[in-house]
């Protein structure tokens, strides 16, 4: 009996990447989404729903912004998408058992601040350097009424779970501002503990929330993204028109059919790419880098960060992943219509023996082993190990000679340099579309 159970467990682990990853130490990110319902938010939400299996979804909150001042919760765009998701859910579940039901998502859906009066006196980005880190605070949310969305944020932050909560601001952050104010004034004994859990990923500051939070709630980790604008926003990925027509809108189920634009245009999507449970550990620290970009500490801000450069290019920390991200999206869309697991492609399942955080010394030989990595579809695999130099603090490069093998060894230079050294393993299959899985190993050279 024991032998049979062992074989069944092994089969399940190979068949389902999510089950295999769950055996590791990586935790799924706890996520709150705030969306102002702009057309590219509609596109982002189509993709986002296909990745709800990879996060711990806490809430989706409809808000407004300086660009969508009345919000869009009175329209049914979001409800239509959830209804479409509900139709493809039976197929999605066959490919990853962690997908939540549509009803589970509905129960976590709320309306936040959509009061245009809270934006009247806010100067737009175009007029001056308002709505950027360090801008003048233009409003105070003290007298605003609570909303179901802001109250939900308060409830989540007051829970006893110490793990970080990543709030994504696809639009404005007014709802979070009110929530933080309520925490500070009504729960003063819990405030420090609760507010310190928050990382807020801002797609620009689309109202005055960013400047208010920086000033009055400095224990919030604030990520200010600008490089989304030339990698994922409007008029950038115009070469994806055929992809959207053939792989998104057509023959891929009712959810993909709701994608409103003619090419990939999802300025808000990097905020949840940052939270992906894919082995890159992007959300563990702003400086790590991954699908959602990489961030560098802002001077004069206790916990403020903005876009970092990779190899001297401010866009590269996002642009380097675009093809892999869109391939993965294509596979998820295939899952929507693939009634059998074998009818679609799935990412390789990396088997990594050893720790992903290693303390090392100058001159030490490092051995890393991914032998036993499998592809659940039987596709051919290729390996690529590389040092993500910009993500670490170690000022130097290591010589990786066997970068395309499943086992890697290299020597840390014996020059007494110290710091963190990030090594990324990418395992790529040759399926259709090609998919990549990742493992990040961080060495602390002391």
- Show the CA angle centred on residue 264, arms to residues 328 and 96, nearest 5°: 25
- Show the CA angle centred on residue 401, arms to residues 349 and 353, nearest 5°: 35
- Return d(Cα 170, Cα 192) in angstroms, integer: 25
The whole-number average pLDDT for the span 260-277 is 98
Q: Which pLDDT band, with edges at 50, 70 and 90, does 127 fall under?
A: low
Residue 345 CA, distance from chain mean position: 22
User: Would you state the pLDDT for residue 126?
Assistant: 66
User: Would you state the pLDDT for residue 7?
Assistant: 37
Q: Does residue 222 register a pLDDT over 90?
A: yes
| Tens digits of residue pLDDT in 195-218 | 999 999 999 999 999 999 999 999
426 sits in which H/E element: strand 419-429
User: Would you state the pLDDT for residue 401?
Assistant: 85
Q: Which pLDDT band, with edges at 50, 70 and 90, does 121 fall under?
A: confident
- Return d(Cα 65, Cα 170) in angstroms, integer: 9
Q: How many C-beta atoms surround the C-beta of residue 136 within 10 A?
A: 11
The whole-number average pLDDT for the span 85-103 is 98
11 sits in which H/E element: helix 2-15
Which whole-number Å values give the CA distances from 441 to 63, 106, 355, 367, 446, in the listed order? 38, 37, 8, 11, 16
| DSSP, residue by residue, 147-174 | -HHHHHHHHHHHSS--S-EEEEESS--H
| Tens digits of residue pLDDT in 367-406 | 999 999 999 999 999 999 999 999 999 999 999 989 999 9
Identify the top-confidence range among 22-36, 69-83, 118-132. Answer: 69-83
User: Would you state the pLDDT for residue 123?
Assistant: 81
| Residue 238 burial by Cβ neighbours in a 10 Å radius (0-12, 13-18, 19+) | exposed
User: Would you state the pLDDT for residue 26?
Assistant: 75
Report which DSSP code applies to 59. Answer: E
The whole-number average pLDDT for the span 308-313 is 98
Q: Does residue 9 register a pLDDT over 70?
A: no
- Return d(Cα 234, Cα 266) in angstroms, integer: 7
User: Would you state the pLDDT for residue 130?
Assistant: 72
- Return d(Cα 281, Cα 438) in angstroms, integer: 9
The whole-number average pLDDT for the span 187-191 is 98
Domains of the chain: 2-337 (3.90.245.10), 346-445 (2.60.40.10)
Instruction: Tell if the pTM clears 0.85, that is, is over it.
Output: yes
User: Would you state the pLDDT for residue 15?
Assistant: 39
Q: Which pLDDT band, with edges at 50, 70 and 90, does 12 fall under?
A: very low
For the ranges 239-243, 345-349, 411-415, the lowest mean pLDDT is seen at 411-415
């Amino acid at each position: 009996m024991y032998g049979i159970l062992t074989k069944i467990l092994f089969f399940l682990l190979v068949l389902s990447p999510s089950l295999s990853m769950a055996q590791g130490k990586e935790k799924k990110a706890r996520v709150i989404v705030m969306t102002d319902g702009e057309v590219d938010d509609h596109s982002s939400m189509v993709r986002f729903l296909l990745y709800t299996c990879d996060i711990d979804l806490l809430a989706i909150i409809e808000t407004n912004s300086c660009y969508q001042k009345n919000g869009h919760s009175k329209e049914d765009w979001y409800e239509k998408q959830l209804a479409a998701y509900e139709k493809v859910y039976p197929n999605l579940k066959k490919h990853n058992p962690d997908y939540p039901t549509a009803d589970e998502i509905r129960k976590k859906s709320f309306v936040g601040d959509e009061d245009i009066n809270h934006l009247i006196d806010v100067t737009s980005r175009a007029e001056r350097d308002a709505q950027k880190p360090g801008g003048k605070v233009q409003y105070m949310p003290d007298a605003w009424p609570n909303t179901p969305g802001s109250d939900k944020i308060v409830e989540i932050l007051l829970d006893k779970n110490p793990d970080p909560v990543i709030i994504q601001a696809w639009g404005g952050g007014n709802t979070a501002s009110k929530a933080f104010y309520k925490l500070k004034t009504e729960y003063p004994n819990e405030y420090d503990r609760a507010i310190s859990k928050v990382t807020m990923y801002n797609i620009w500051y689309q109202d005055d929330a960013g400047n208010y939070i920086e000033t009055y709630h400095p224990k919030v980790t604030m990520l200010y993204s600008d490089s989304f604008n030339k990698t994922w926003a409007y008029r950038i990925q115009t070469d994806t028109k055929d992809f959207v027509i053939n792989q998104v809108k057509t023959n891929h189920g009712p959810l993909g059919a709701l994608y409103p634009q003619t090419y990939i245009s999802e300025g808000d999507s990097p905020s949840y790419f940052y939270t992906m449970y894919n082995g890159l550990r992007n959300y563990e620290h702003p400086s790590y880098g991954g699908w959602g970009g990489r961030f560098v500490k802002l001077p004069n801000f206790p916990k403020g960060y903005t876009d970092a450069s990779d190899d001297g290019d401010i866009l590269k920390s996002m642009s380097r992943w675009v093809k892999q991200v869109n391939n993965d999206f294509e596979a998820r869309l295939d899952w929507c219509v693939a009634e059998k697991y074998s009818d679609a492609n799935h990412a390789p399942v990396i088997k990594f023996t050893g720790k992903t955080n290693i303390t090392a010394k100058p001159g030490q030989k490092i051995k890393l082993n991914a032998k036993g990595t499998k592809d659940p579809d039987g596709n051919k695999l290729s390996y690529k190990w590389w040092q993500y130099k910009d993500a670490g603090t170690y000022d130097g490069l290591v010589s990786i000679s066997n970068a395309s093998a499943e086992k890697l060894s290299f020597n840390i230079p014996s020059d007494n340099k110290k710091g963190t050294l990030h090594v990324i393993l990418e395992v790529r299959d040759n399926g259709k579309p090609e998919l990549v899985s990742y493992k990040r190993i961080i060495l602390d050279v002391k």
